[in-house]
Homo-oligomer: A and B are copies of this chain.
């Protein structure tokens, strides 16, 4: 079981809800992934279209917990206001805090992030900060009151996998007790399995599922790979070696005088 604030979760796969070809595909993907948490966002609602209402009905039918994000926010003020609005409409104190610092890489502005986290934690939010692998930033976020961190694997939507393996391993080693969820940048299930094998607690996937040719099958594949990675971590993997070790025993080999 994974504990995030007061919530116990079985699934280690969180799913983003954006960029699917159709709402029904999203719903099937969530079910295939056996996801217990999905991320959601806020946008301007047109009185005529009422697109948000349909989306919200869909999500509620899925019976999953929602983790609202502050995607697109570039300032502390925007992020905090968005968090306030999200709590009202989604009825949860969870907030995936994004303060974007740079539009090409969509990377976190770690300064704004820590400020906004401090404000929101003080107001009783349960903050899931989208951050980098920087240990010192992580320390500040924990000091601000965060009890979960969401380090990036690679830039959002890039599909590159765990880009800075060394840095991510150091982060994991440094905070053995803090739930760490890899958010963003994974492309294929083996990336997710690797994250769990390295000891990360969960993974949030969006683009890699939603933009696959078959999102539902891909959601299922990620779920399996994540279970595999978690199990492998628990099963005590072998250490990599430089030289070969024979798997078939050499004692009793025939034709050896």
Contacts and interface: CB of A to CB of B under 8 A. Distances in A.
A193 to B, nearest CB: 4
Interface of A: 16, 18-19, 41-44, 69, 71-73, 78, 81-82, 101-102, 104-111, 114, 132, 134-137, 139-140, 154-161, 163-164, 166-167, 170, 174, 184, 187-191, 193-194, 197, 206-208, 210-215, 217-218, 220-225, 227-229, 231-232, 234-255
B106 A246 contact: yes
A210 to B, nearest CB: 7
Contacts of A160: 166, 240-241
Contacts of A229: 188-190, 221, 225
A160 to B, nearest CB: 5
Q: Which 7 A-B pairs have the closest CB atoms?
A: A213-B236, A157-B245, A101-B136, A71-B248, A43-B252, A155-B244, A225-B228
Residue from A206, A249, A251 having most chain B Cβ neighbours under 10 A: A249
Contact of A188 (B163, B218, B232): B232
A81 B253 CA distance: 13
Copy number in the complex reads: 4
B72 A225 contact: no
B107 A247 contact: no
Contact of A104 (B217, B231, B243): B243
Nearest to A102: B135
19 contacts: A18-B249, A72-B246, A72-B254, A102-B174, A109-B136, A110-B110, A156-B245, A158-B240, A163-B166, A184-B247, A188-B237, A190-B193, A214-B234, A221-B231, A221-B232, A222-B228, A222-B232, A225-B225, A228-B228
